[in-house]
Chains A and B, each alone.
Chain A
Amino acid sequence: MKRLRLLWLPAAALLLSACVQREKEPDHDYGTATLIHPGKVEGHIETASDVDFYRLDVSQDAILNVHLGGIRDVDFVLSIRDKDHQELKRYDETGLGGDEEALDVGVHPGSYYIVVSNKNPDASNPTQAYSMEVELEKPTGHEMEPNETMQTASPLDVPGVTTGHYWPSRNLLAGDTDYLEQDWFRIDVSTGLYLLNIDLSGVSMVDAVMEVYDTNGYMLERIDQGGIGEGESLKDFGVRGPVTYYLRLYSKTGTGNPDQAYEILSELIPYNGKTEFEPNNQRPDATPFTGDSITGTIAPAGDVDWYKISVSGPGKQVLRASVTGVDNMELTLTAADALGNPILTIDNAGRGQPQVLTGLGVTQGDYYLIVAEKTGRRADNRNPYTLSKTITPFEPGLEYELNDTTATANAIKVGSGVDGYIGWKGDVDVYQFNVYQNSDVVFELAGIANVQFVATLLDQDYKEVQTWRAAKPGDSLTFDRSLAAGTYYLKLSAADPSQNNVRDKYSLRLRAR
């Protein structure tokens, strides 16, 4: 029994030494490479110019990770090469005595070479063994280096989670791109209309940038909202399958982090017409807006969302629209004609407030509503806005915008009236009426909150006859004037161009005394 106990230690040592693979010199080229398998490997840097080749035979697709522990005096360079001796990645992140690490190298059945060399010409440490851990893991849900170009992009599982690293911090094989380390992913979408959502987790020390490209290499989106250690997010990106897109990730500051992986969470949602369909940043890509409401987000900064409205029916109609507020953002709402020319921009309210288009006269054809953030510097893809609209037949007795000039004046009759809005900052409403015989005409204008009315009467030669002003905001205005037979114009506006009221209509009545 005692003899058995004595045998324990050497047996254990023998077992342990058997788990550690050792370099077999000479191993200075591909032909004499030491054959290894995943696990721990030990070797020596016998001279400053010593180069150690290791061959790893892979039987199925996998991800190769290698950790090379540093030793005194030696400045390691770690290289991964394929069976054709093509260098796939090179790692030289540290100096003397530092560790080197290869992460996420995609391998396929065949032979690969791990090459360990030293950069310090004065290195002299032949006796200390270096230790190298070689690991193979399943490739599912992993980036597969090298994926520095569209052509070598790793497939992105959609929907799913894909992990990767901003590593190495510099791509030493990409001198033509200033050694930029970038990760490309390919997204294949099957037939149909979808919304693509991508969430990229933050990684400490890294300020990430995420870009989306089409197959022609044209950049469709650039997302860089977060700072160092913060993630990025792409929401409601419209895709029409079958199509392939590419995602490009890189660290803006050139820093890497081997210890923390990023995660790409992606989902593909069938499009239901209730949200914007990005990119919709210009007229040809406008999202069709057929329902009563639609949601969207302003992201990234400078995002502009176009929505297309088709008006059917032969008569006069009135378009009303509103967009809800988003915290910390001042949104604007613009109505444009079929060619995309702006007709009217609503910018009445401040940050976080809704914008309301009280009414725009429209006819059969296409129009656009455009939502944007006023400064072009803010973005928020977590809090959507809701854009709502109604299109109703025009009713006599209501204002028909735009009626801000004598050329576009609404015709009214003495003995009747009209209801309208001072609906935006600087709104001017002009009405045309005829006096058929010399009369004393009385004008009655009911006051509305926040608006101090100014009324100007013009003759048919557009010359000012008289101007009346309410005493203060909210006051009604009643005045009369003897008029000879002729055509006249009444121009209504607010005393201060910033005054407006999207909630309350004013009422204007004309009668002959």
Chain B
Amino acid sequence: MRPGMWLAAALLAGACAPKVVPWRVAKAGPVTLPAAQPTIPSTPPPKPVPKADFELIVSETVDSLEDDLGSYAKVYVDRQPAGETQIAAKSQDKTWEAVLPPGNHLFRFEEWYLPSTGDWTMLDPQWQPPERFIRVDPGQKTVVRLRFYDGGLRNKLEIERRPLE
């Protein structure tokens, strides 16, 4: 075969060979991460109270993660400050237990919020649950579940009694 033909063949093979197209890599632009969820302050759940005959569980239904900020509830029994729940996100159960003498006690629960900016704020009194009597019976544990919803504008209180363990 003449050299010219070899050259032609090589050229033809080169022309017919699959072409390698350089892969163009786009330069990465700046990446915007979503805003970090504010750190919700929290305190450890209170230690279980031995032989507690009263328990309060407070939580809230929230519409979005952005609304699920810190909250806690103060407890007043017979017009005296009796304690408060731990601090946690609104949607988390926050508890308070006590040993109370049997009888009909006057309770007031006061909900507090930590907004995204600023200091702790008490829920406006017009939206707080009204004070009310709740009976503690001997040999029984009174469990009160207090749920807030609609941005804290509404609440529901349920009372349950279980045999004391």
User: Are A460 and B131 in touch, CB under 8 angstroms?
Assistant: no
On chain B, the residues within 8 Å of A484 by CB distance are 104
* A residues 352-396 touching B (CB-CB < 8 Å): 363, 394
The dominant DSSP class at the A interface is: loop
Given contacts A315-B126, A434-B106, A486-B104, contact A460 B133 (CB under 8 A): yes
Q: How far is the CB of B158 from chain A (nearest CB, A)?
A: 9
B10 near A: Cβ within 8 Å? no
Q: Is B132 an interface residue (CB 8 A)?
A: yes
Asked if A432 lies at the interface with its beta carbon under 8 angstroms from chain B, I say yes
Q: A315-B126, A363-B150 are in contact. Are A460 and B135 (CB under 8 A)?
A: yes
B18 close to A (CB within 8 Å): no
Residues of A within 8 A of B135 (CB): 460-461, 486
B144 CB to closest chain A CB, in angstroms? 12
Asked if B134 is an interface residue, CB under 8 A from chain A, the answer is yes
Known: A434-B106, A436-B106. A486 touches B133 (CB 8 A): yes
| Tally of A-B Cβ pairs under 8 angstroms | 32
Contact with B along A476-493 (1 / 0, CB 8 A): 000000001111000000
A96 on interface, CB distance cutoff 8 Å = no
Are the C-beta atoms of A432 and B132 separated by less than 8 Å?
Answer: yes
The total of chain A residues at the interface (CB under 8 A) is 16
How far, in whole Å, are A460 and B126 apart by their CA atoms in the complex? 22
Complex-state Cα separation, A150 to B40, whole angstroms = 59
> Are B126's CB and A316's CB within 8 A?
yes
Q: How far is the CB of A427 from chain B (nearest CB, A)?
A: 20
Q: A460: which of B134, B153, B156 is its contact (CB, 8 Å)?
A: B134
A363 (CB) vs chain B CBs: closest residue: B153
Cα-based distance from A432 to B133 in the complex (angstroms)? 11
Specify which chain B residues have a CB less than 8 angstroms from the CB of A363 in the assembled complex. Answer: 150, 153
B134: min CB distance to chain A, Å? 7
Contact at B130–A432, with CB atoms within 8 Å? yes
How far is it, in angstroms, between the C-alpha of A487 and the C-alpha of B159 when the chains are bound?
13
B-contact 0/1 string along A57-80, CB 8 Å cutoff: 000000000000000000000000
CA distance A109 to B133 in the complex (A): 92
Contact check: which of B132, B153, B156 meets A487 at CB < 8 Å? B132
Cβ of A407 within 8 Å of any chain B Cβ, yes or no, is yes
- Given the contacts A316-B126, A363-B150, A434 and B131 also touching, CB distance less than 8 Å: yes
Q: Does A512 contact B (CB under 8 A)?
A: no
> In the complex where A363-B153, A407-B156 touch, is A485 in contact with B126 (Cβ < 8 A)?
no
Min Cβ gap A274→B in Å is: 32
The answer to whether A434 touches B133 (Cβ under 8 A) is yes
A411 at the interface (CB under 8 A from B): yes
Nearest Cβ in chain A — how far from B143, in angstroms? 15
Across the two chains, which residue of chain B brings its CB closest to A315? B126
Contact in complex: A411, B130 (CB < 8 Å): yes
Inter-chain CA distance A348–B68, complex, in Å, is 42
Q: Tell me the chain A residues, 413-450 only, with Cβ under 8 Å from chain B.
A: 432, 434, 436
Mark contacts of B118-133 with chain A using CB atoms, 8 A cut-off: 1 yes-contact digit, 0 otherwise. 0000001010001111
B132 near A460: Cβ-Cβ < 8 Å: yes
Contacts of A394 in B (CB 8 A): 126
Tell me the bound Cα distance from A487 to B107 in angstroms. 11
Q: How far is the CB of A399 from chain B (nearest CB, A)?
A: 15
Q: In the complex, A407→B130 CA distance in Å? A: 12
The smallest beta-carbon distance between A314 and chain B, in angstroms, is 8
Provided the pairs A363-B150, A434-B106, A436-B106 are in contact, do residues A487 and B126 lie with their beta carbons within 8 angstroms?
Answer: no
Question: B20-64, CB under 8 A of A: which get 1 and which 0?
Answer: 000000000000000000000000000000000000000000000
A-B contact pairs, 14 of them (CB 8 A): A315-B126, A363-B153, A394-B126, A407-B157, A432-B130, A434-B106, A434-B133, A460-B104, A460-B135, A461-B135, A485-B133, A486-B104, A486-B135, A487-B133
A-to-B contact residues, CB < 8 Å: 314-316, 363, 394, 407, 411, 432, 434, 436, 460-461, 484-487
